[in-house]
Amino acid sequence: MIFPPTFRADLNAIARDAGAFLLAERQKFSRDAVEYKGLNDLVSYVDKECEKLIVPKLHALLPEAGFITEEGTTEQADRQGINWIIDPLDGTTNFIHGLPVYAVSIGLAQGNRPIAGVVYDPNRDECFSAAEGQGAWLSVGGATEQPMHVSPAQRLADGLIATGFPYYRFEQMQPYLHILEQLMQRSHGLRRMGSAAIDLAYVAAGRFEAFYEYNLKSWDMAAGICLVREAGGIVTDFQGQDTMLFGGDIIAGCALQPELLSLIGDYWPE
Chain segment 123-167, per-residue pLDDT in tens: 999 999 999 999 999 999 989 999 999 999 999 999 999 999 876
Buried b vs exposed e over 143-154: b needs ≥16 C-beta within 10 Å? Answer: eebeebebbebe
Examine domains 7-147 and 156-267 and report if their fold is the same. Answer: no
Specify the pLDDT at position 30: 74
Q: Mean pLDDT throughout 28-41? A: 65
| Cα separations in angstroms, 233 against 42, 43, 60 | 31, 32, 31
* Residue 170, pLDDT above cutoff 60: yes
Query: Topology of 7-147 in CATH?
Result: Fructose-1,6-Bisphosphatase; Chain A, domain 1 (3.30.540)
90 annotated to a ligand binding site: yes
Specify the pLDDT at position 40: 46
Alpha-carbon gap, residue 124 to 111, rounded angstroms: 32
125 annotated to a ligand binding site: no
- Give the global pTM: 0.94
Assigned CATH for 156-267:
3.40.190.80
Specify the pLDDT at position 53: 96
249 annotated to a ligand binding site: no
CA-nearest of 91, 97, 89, 95 to 73 is 89
Q: Mean pLDDT throughout 100-127? A: 98
Find the angle CA(53)-CA(56)-CA(59) to the nearest 5 degrees: 140
220 annotated to a ligand binding site: yes
Q: Cβ distance 137 to 146 under 8 Å?
A: yes
Specify the pLDDT at position 270: 75
Please write the tens of the pLDDT for every residue from 199-245.
Answer: 999 999 999 999 999 999 999 999 999 999 999 999 999 999 999 99
pLDDT, mean over the chain: 92
The SS3 call for residue 97 is helix
The SS3 call for residue 31 is helix
Q: Cβ distance 94 to 102 under 8 Å?
A: yes
For 1, residues 6+ apart whose C-beta sits below 8 A from its C-beta are: 82, 110, 115, 132
* Residue 74, pLDDT above cutoff 80: no
Domain boundaries, the chain: 7-147, 156-267
242 annotated to a ligand binding site: no
Q: Cβ distance 134 to 230 under 8 Å?
A: yes
